[in-house]
Amino acid sequence: MNKILVLHGPNLNLLGTREPEIYGRTTLYDINAMIAARAKEAGIAVDFLQSNHEGVLVDTLQEVPKKGYAFVILNAAAFTHYSVAIRDAIAAIPTPVIEVHLSNIHQREEFRHHSVISPVVMGQIAGFGEDSYMAALEVVIRRLSEARS
């Protein structure tokens, strides 16, 4: 069975109540449950981690190869825009990482338009709310299926 890691960055633990006009009313628990259900259907094990701490996310990314994850789905949240440490951790591992965002960062404040992690990830999906995560998961499912064929 293949396994993936879903990493959630700072403030995503507040989903459902934090700026619902931007992030919606879906909670992080709801998003994780949707991902877990679809991953189970596809025969993929999934682990989740949310942290408000940059170092925890860096440490977790560095452990990805040892733990045998086939893919990482990452919403680095605010760290997307300035964390060279997270960018370097992604670049240091061979595991593909898909960047996701609930909102369309390119339609928001100017400082959110630039992602320092985009150059080192497989791709970015933004602006579709929880469906950003689900779209990333569908990419993972397809890629793992193709690798098995």
Q: Please give the positions annotated as active site.
A: 23, 101
> Of the candidates 37, 38, 30, 25, which has an alpha carbon nearest to the alpha carbon of residue 8?
30
Gyration radius of the chain over CA positions: 14
Distance CA 13, CA 61 (A): 19
For residue 66, the surrounding DSSP H or E stretch is: helix 54-67
Residue 2 burial class via C-beta count within 10 angstroms: exposed 0-12, middle 13-18, buried 19 and up: buried
Q: In what order do the strands lie in the sheet with 2-8?
A: 44-50, 2-8, 71-75, 97-101, 123-126
